[in-house]
Homo-oligomer: A and B are copies of this chain.
Amino acid sequence: MKVKYNLIKKEKDTEARLGTLETNYGTYETPMFMPVGTQATVKTLSPEEVKACKPGIILANTYHLWLRPGEDVVDHAGGLHKFMNWDGPILTDSGGFQVFSLAKPKDITEEGVHFKNIYNGDNLLLTPEKSIEIQNKLDSDIAMSFDECVGFPHTREYVEESVERTLRWAERGKKVFNNERQSLFGIVQGAEYEDLRKHCVEELVKMDFDGYSIGGTAVGEPKNVQYKQVEYSCKYLPKDKVRYLMGVGDPIDIIENVIRGVDIFDCVAPTRLARHGHFYTMQGKGNIKNAKYKEDFTPIEEECDCYACKNYTKAYIRHLIRAEETFGQRLLSIHNIRFLIRLTEEIRKAIQEDRLLEYRENFIKNYYEEEGE
């Protein structure tokens, strides 16, 4: 089935939306945070552990799975759900962001993007058609159109050209899309130019996608630019379709962008930070390697309901991380993912009760930036 977005309520003072998204694997509340399973696994976690964090959708990366193990292996396994033992909804990206950020050198033509396979040096070409073909085979629940993700900074001239190319690519992808149980999202580009975002949205809406993603974020732009990009996209996006902001997952950014009308987020930060010993709390980020935790026999967050906080102390997790034991990375990954999902639970409650601006104010007041080691 195609995903179906139901708007439950718009918050009184902001553009924030409380809603539900119906998928092949159940209905989930939005705003939501999606854990990232880049290579068909959420790093260090089992599917059961991811489930226990109570996510809605998880994300997998088309670029990585195309190169390894290859979409045919996943197809022959019976699709991504069966391959990775995940019975919840999966969203795949288009590979666009990875091609632009990881594949170097690259050559962007009308046809697509030429680049070298990082594993064996082979020349590869990712086109809108190829991206869709791979995603159709991966058999995720939601696929993304192949877009050009423009970095920051950039010139207006380049973004103008690029938006048109992204629109032509969206159309080409839609034309070859061939998977009945999969939804297809269009990606809004246009950088921080309101007229380009508006134009991009309008053209995408004519093509009638099942949902819309906001791209060109998480490429090194300042926060105020990111918030503008989101504002200029949401302003024109249809109310009856879900909106996914790609690659953004900082706690404050989640709150700010929900306020601007975003429904879905994803980010590798919770698992990446965990692997380096960092953890979130509602009072800010910490680093478990800090000497002050040596004999701290309390959980990371007393009020957290995750497996790590229910069963382990900071002293033990500190020991594991210092000893480079993967179980430590796992415990922090569980906590960090659950943290961002708890954050979205609190946000949904604040929308329900029309007090999101107050929630933001209190959150920012309490939230300190990372402490040193």
Contact: B43 with A319, CB < 8 Å? no
B313–A69 CB distance below 8 A: no
* A297 interfacial by beta-carbon distance below 8 Å: yes
Q: Chain B nearest CB: distance from A275 CB in Å?
A: 9
In the assembled complex, which residues on chain B have CB atoms less than 8 Å from the CB atom of A323? 39, 41, 64, 68
Asked if B325 and A326 make an inter-chain contact with CB atoms under 8 angstroms apart, the answer reads: no
Chain B CB within 8 A of A196 CB: no
C-alpha spacing A128/B103, complex, angstroms: 57
Can you tell how many copies of this chain the complex includes? 2
Q: Which of B43, B311, B315, B325 contacts A77 (CB 8 A)?
A: B315
A196: min CB distance to chain B, Å: 37
Are B41's CB and A294's CB within 8 A? no
From residue 39 to 78 of chain A, which have CB atoms closer than 8 A to chain B?
Answer: 39-41, 43-46, 64, 68-69, 73, 76-78
Determine whether the beta carbon of A327 is less than 8 Å from that of B77: no
CB distance A77 to B294 under 8 Å?
no
* In the complex, per-residue mask of A15-26: 1 if CB is within 8 Å of any chain B CB, else 0: 000000000000
Q: What is A's interface to B at a CB cutoff of 8 Å?
A: 39-41, 43-46, 64, 68-69, 73, 76-78, 83-85, 294-295, 297, 311-313, 315-316, 318-320, 322-323, 325-330
